[in-house]
Amino acid sequence: MKYQTTLLEDWIKNFYYSLDIIHPHQLDLHDIANRLGLFVNYKDISSRFYLDEVILDKRLTEQEQWQDFGHELCHALRHEGNQLIMPKPFVELQEYQANLFAYHFCVPTFMLLKLDLPENNKEAKYYIGNMFNVTLGFAEKRLELYHKRLHGSYLIIKNY
């Protein structure tokens, strides 16, 4: 089947290519942060982005920290403003965008397309989890997004 990439998937692919990252084993949050001039700090607070620092919750697993890094990096690269003073719907929009970004950033489509994924969803979920260092729940959701796009069952917005 032909996979039609989204603008976000294309943006992430171009971003990774600009860093010469083309394989899953190259996905390293410290290396990426360093190349972008961002600092990574681990604290006993929820993950967040502030100025040029990505703060990651040190109580999380390595996989959860990688996933949070993807989320916070979206705020760093694609968002502006202080959420503490934004209208709630705008904060919700940014959080939705950052969550979606994290799925595609942590498990990039251009890398997924190169893999020979197991046909069994459970096996594929474990394979993705191990290959991209994400939790099984995250891998399952990413696989669901991938299959929906691959099989064409994605949201079509009509103009009225």
> CA-to-CA distance for 84 and 67, rounded, in angstroms?
23
2 vs 106 pLDDT, higher one: 106
Enter the pTM of the model. Answer: 0.88
Q: Where are the domains of the chain?
A: 7-150
Which pLDDT value is given to residue 153? 53
> Residue 104 in 3-state DSSP?
helix
CA angle (149, 2, 77) in 5-degree steps: 50
Specify which residues 42 forms β-bridges with: 56
Task: Determine phi and psi for 102, rounding to 5 degrees.
Answer: -60, -40
Which pLDDT value is given to residue 5? 92
pLDDT in tens, 49-107: 988 999 999 999 999 999 999 999 999 998 666 666 667 887 688 789 899 999 999 99
